[in-house]
Amino acid sequence: MNRISSFPPLISEDSKVLILGSVPGIKSLEMQEYYAHPQNKFWRILFELFEEEFTTDYSVKIKLLKKYKIGVWDVIDSCDRKGSLDTQIKNENYHNILKLLEDFPSIKVLFCNGQKSFKTLNKIIPNDLEIPIFVLPSTSPAYTIPYDKKLQEWSVIKSYL
């Protein structure tokens, strides 16, 4: 088992939406980029939702987030995990999501990229949180519903911007 750590949040003072993953996979850790696995549909979905031309250039991806006031972070700060699957996560330490929400009061809604981040988030935040939380289908290639279905469900993000 390897101990792995997440990245700092990609967030701006005017971010309205925060998308929370679980923890980076092997390819993301190698590249030091969120959602770096070429089969992960995260970036493709966001570019398509906003009718922007897709690119693999990470700096352009970060600009897209800023342009549309979207923040990205992970619920898990560090954990032990063999491989990239969420089912292999053990001994989790969590990020202080409440502190981030305090520091970025413009965040109005949380979207969880998959069930693992949603279930973990619900363990660490109070039930009376005033911000709506939605779980979206994981963009991971391990979650095998059709791309169009993922895209359709992820389109709810636009109604909060």
Angstrom distance (rounded) from CA 136 to CA 113: 5
pLDDT in tens, 76-115: 999 999 888 888 999 999 999 999 999 999 999 999 999 9
- Choosing from 2, 40, 122, 127, which is the catalytic residue? 40
Tell me, what's the pLDDT at 1? Answer: 67
Angstrom distance (rounded) from CA 88 to CA 111: 22
pLDDT in tens, 2-49: 899 999 999 999 999 999 999 999 999 999 999 999 999 999 999 999
Q: How many domains does the chain have?
A: 1
How much of the chain exceeds pLDDT 70, in percent? 99
CATH number for 102: 3.40.470.10
- DSSP alpha helix (H) spans, the chain: 26-31, 42-49, 58-67, 97-103, 115-124, 147-154
CB–CB of 101/126 below 8 Å?
Answer: no
Residue 142's pLDDT band (cuts 50, 70, 90): confident
Compute CA distances 60 → 32, 39, 119, 141, whole Å. 15, 19, 31, 23
As to burial, measured by CB atoms within 10 angstroms (0-12 exposed, 13-18 middle, 19+ buried), residue 68 is middle
Is position 40 annotated as part of the catalytic site? yes
Q: What residues make up the domain containing 60?
A: 2-160
Contacts of 155 (CB under 8 A, 6+ apart): 49
